Amino acid sequence: MAEILVLGGGIIGCALAEELARRGRRVTLVERGGIGLEASTAAAGILSAQMDVPAPGPFLEFCQEARRMYPSWIRRLERSTGLRLGLHRDGIVYLAMTRAEETRMAHRMRWQRRHGLRVERWSGAAVRRREPAVDGPVRAGFFFPDESQVDNQALMRALVVACRRAGVRVLEHTTARRILVRRGTVQGVVTSRGRLQAPVVVNALGSWAGLRALGPVRVPVEPARGQMLAFAGPPRLFRHVVMAERAYVVQRRDGRLLVGSTVERAGFEKALTLEGMHGILDGLRRFSSALQQCTFLDAWAGLRPYSRTGRPLLGPTRVRGLYLAAGHFRHGILLAPATAQRLAGMICLRNHVRGGTRPHAGTELVESEQQSIDITYCQ
């Protein structure tokens, strides 16, 4: 019998399962498809711990904590798996195209500097000098030198290897159907391949964490579709991650350019739309004509787990032994190591005695009622 069942093999479930196994726990990871094939590989891999954080507070602190952890987390995963994960501190330059955007970002720059974070303001001419692929009418650039990017697809491949090496039992193509609860205490999970018993279950089901049929556990998470396009271009065409109001571009070291993205409420539909792809390309063309030198490679869409509270949902529920690690929305790649560390700490420390640790301040505790939880799946 596993000590801990982690449901969902995205970056959050995998990072947590590996961390718990490293702490000596017997962990089973339950994934209905292949590991990491949903939002975690659809993502762009931008590690933005300040550029798109609109206000100071616990969420900023949590992002900063994740950013501090990233280099050593990646080094450890690279050492243990022998894989290269493409972590690069390229910085992000945000392009203000209108006066309103410039004012908004100047305000962000001021409060972030007061918090000791580095932000530079570049003139339009300085943007074109430092990022020659930008040739549109840019009013100002705001440069965040401490932001990074990671190859999230390579990271997911490494995480599953690391999970197995740490002793996690990885069950792919296994759908969790119902979480079993008796007298207010979790008992395990009914899956498509039978019943799994465990005193601790973690819901890390990404966009699927909050399905209505989860029943009494109110998990306010829903999918927010993001469409992405990939092109092949000359290496270092873009030197930084470049973002603007309606589009962004991230270039990997092999020349691949990832161009994104939409944020849409389209239910669990992952289809690409002409409107979505056109909107992204139009947003990009406003600041750069460089895609003319590139060839189209691929396009896809993924579902971000959007939490209606605006924060990740991370912590225990009122059902003893049942935890949540969901709702990371646009920051799940960045927040994975900090989420794993925090939640593994809570689980190991609480040891399922009532009145244990409180959830981390940058996150939200979701209360559930003490009864069976049925899950239905929108495939």
Region near ligand FAD per CB under 6 A, out of 95-103, 133-141, 203-211, 276-284: 203-211
Phi, psi of 320 (to 5 degrees): -60, 130
- 47 touches 333 (CB < 8 A): yes
| Residue (102 or 328) nearer to ligand FAD, CB | 328
Residue 206 binding ligand FAD, by CB under 6 A: yes
Establish if 330 lies at the interface with ligand FAD (CB under 6 A): yes
Contact status: 210 vs ligand FAD (CB under 6 A): no
Q: Cβ distance 146 to 40 under 8 Å?
A: no
Residue 242 in contact with ligand FAD, rule: CB under 6 A: no
Q: Which of these ranges, 28-36, 179-187, 340-348, 364-372, lies near ligand FAD under the rule CB under 6 A?
A: 28-36
Helix locations, 169-263, DSSP H: none
Contact between 163 and ligand FAD by CB under 6 A: the answer reads: no
Is residue 32 involved in binding ligand FAD (CB under 6 A)? yes
How many angstroms separate the CA atoms of 313 and 362, rounded? 9
| Contact mark string toward ligand FAD, 278..317, x via CB under 6 A | ------------------------x-xx------------
- Looking at the Cβ atoms of 153 and 185, the one nearer to ligand FAD is 153
77: contact with ligand FAD by CB under 6 A: no
Q: Which of 10, 141, 188, 210 binds ligand FAD (CB under 6 A)?
A: 10
Among 175, 187, 317, 341, binds ligand FAD (CB under 6 A): 175
Q: Rounded distance, CA 147 to CA 78, Å?
A: 20
Phi, then psi, of 353 in degrees rounded to 5: -100, 135
Omega before 368 within 30 of 0, i.e. cis: no
C-alpha dist (Å) from residue 76 to 6, 41, 70, 73, 79: 22, 20, 10, 5, 5
Please report whether residue 40 would count as binding ligand FAD according to CB under 6 A.
yes
Query: How far lies 228's CA from each of 13, 120, 249, 367, in Å?
Result: 23, 28, 10, 35
Out of 108, 178, 320, 328, the only residue in the binding site for ligand FAD (CB under 6 A) is: 328
- Regarding 176 and contact with ligand FAD (CB under 6 A), the answer is yes
The conformational region for residue 236 under phi > 0 = left, psi -120 to 50 = alpha, else beta, is left
158 and 83 Cβ atoms separated by less than 8 Å = yes
> Min. distance of Cβ 184 from ligand FAD in angstroms?
23
Query: What's the rounded Cα separation, in Å, for the pair 119 and 141?
Result: 10
CA 201 to chain centre: 21
Binding stretches for ligand FAD (CB under 6 A): 7-13, 30-33, 37-40, 42-46, 175-176, 204-208, 226, 228, 260-261, 302, 304-305, 326, 328-334, 375, 377
